[in-house]
């Protein structure tokens, strides 16, 4: 008799212990009828989160392992800690489900992802329809970034958007289950055999673009990603990252973007993507002045993008220290 496919759920915490516990409780409820385990990874919070979560789990008697990462290497690195931990008996699961600490699975959501991957063995990853607490849909289904997509996204100009509609990175959310290029990692189930083939999250990314890169590697290996409309998850969003409160885009966002393009398409393509973004951004800023439109980017975004990519393209070369008498 064939054993049922086993699932490992990984919830990553960074200084949001109360919210993480809410996510864990919701996940435990939704995977109760599945052959599943759950592990919480504290991403070196350093604020007592690990101890608080561990104590609460023990008090509740939840079947949950709580482990601590020895460093905060970012989203991908933290999830990799949980994935590498595997199941409690030391074996690997058949599926890995990553769930944000500020995401709460609605009834039937985890089961739908599990059944989707079980029902079609050609699929690599499956992700949920994400909505806010008030029911508003979050855009979490995307096309892979490209030169044309950079121009379209930065220009925010109707004629350009119509020409490059098929390259626009954020997708109109499908009404039914459908293949997509990549999905945000708030609620994403992955086939373990695919991860064994293509590798885990690239830990060069601290935050952002790591799911994009992972889905691209899977697609290139012949494993598509599917958006499962009837798997619904409530998501608050940007709690750990603080993105909603950004007054300036952090350097790690630019570093992740540059690494994604250079790794997957080469330096020349990355330069073209940045030039396209700058061209679109300048067009948008001209329209803002003429039409008195409000700003749409964080302050200094375009200047920070140019400065970062020039620095990455032409790193400062410091002369090697000369040997002094007695150094050898």
Sequence ranges of the domains in the chain: 7-137+173-241, 251-313
Q: Over the stretch 79-125, which tens digit does the pLDDT of each residue have?
A: 999 999 999 999 999 999 999 999 999 999 999 999 999 999 999 99
Average pLDDT over residues 40-52: 97
Answering whether pTM is above 0.85, one says yes
Is pLDDT of 301 > 90?
Answer: yes
What top-level class would CATH report for the domain 7-137+173-241? alpha beta
DSSP string, 75-110: HHHHHHHHHHH--TTSPPPSEEEEE-TTEEEPTTHH
Q: Over the stretch 157-195, which tens digit does the pLDDT of each residue have?
A: 999 999 999 999 999 999 999 999 999 999 999 999 999
Q: Which one is predicted more confidently, 78 or 238?
A: 78
- Tell me, what's the pLDDT at 201? 98
- Tell me, what's the pLDDT at 317? 56
Phi-psi region of 166 (alpha: psi -120 to 50; beta: other; left: phi over 0): alpha
Residue of 269, 268, 293 whose CA lies nearest to 283: 293
- Tell me, what's the pLDDT at 238? 60
**What tokens were used for 144?**
């892979």
Phi-psi region of 86 (alpha: psi -120 to 50; beta: other; left: phi over 0): left
The whole-angstrom distance between residue 206's C-alpha and the CA centroid of its chain comes to 10
């Amino acid at each position: 008799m064939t054993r049922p496919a086993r699932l490992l759920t990984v919830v990553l915490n960074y200084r949001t212990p109360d919210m993480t516990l809410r996510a864990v409780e919701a996940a435990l409820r939704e995977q109760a009828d599945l052959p599943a385990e759950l592990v919480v990874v504290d991403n070196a919070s350093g604020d007592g989160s690990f101890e608080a979560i561990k104590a609460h789990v023990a008090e509740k008697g939840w079947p949950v392992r709580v482990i601590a990462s020895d460093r905060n290497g970012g989203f991908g690195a933290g999830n990799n800690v949980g994935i590498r931990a595997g199941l409690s008996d030391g074996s690997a699961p058949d599926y890995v489900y990553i769930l944000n600490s500020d995401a709460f699975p609605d009834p039937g959501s985890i089961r739908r992802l599990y059944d989707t991957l079980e029902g079609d063995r050609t699929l690599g990853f499956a992700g949920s329809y994400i909505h806010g607490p008030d029911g508003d849909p979050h855009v979490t289904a995307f096309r892979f970034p490209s030169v044309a997509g950079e121009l379209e996204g930065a220009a925010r100009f109707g004629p350009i958007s119509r020409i490059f509609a098929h390259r626009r990175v954020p997708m109109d959310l499908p009404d039914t289950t459908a293949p997509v290029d990549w999905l945000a990692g708030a609620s994403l189930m992955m086939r373990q055999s695919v991860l064994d083939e293509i590798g885990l999250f690239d830990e060069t990314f601290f935050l952002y673009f790591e799911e994009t890169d992972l889905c691209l590697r899977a697609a290139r290996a012949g494993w598509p990603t599917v958006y499962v409309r009837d798997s619904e998850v409530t998501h608050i969003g940007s709690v750990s990252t603080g993105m909603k409160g950004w007054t300036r885009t952090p350097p790690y966002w630019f570093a992740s973007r540059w690494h994604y393009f250079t790794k997957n398409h080469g330096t020349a393509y990355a330069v073209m993507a940045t030039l396209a973004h700058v061209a679109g951004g300048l067009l948008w800023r001209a329209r803002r002045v003429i039409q008195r439109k409000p700003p749409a980017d964080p302050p200094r975004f375009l200047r920070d993008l140019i400065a970062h990519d020039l620095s990455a393209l032409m790193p400062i070369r410091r002369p090697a220290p000369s040997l002094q008498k007695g150094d050898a």
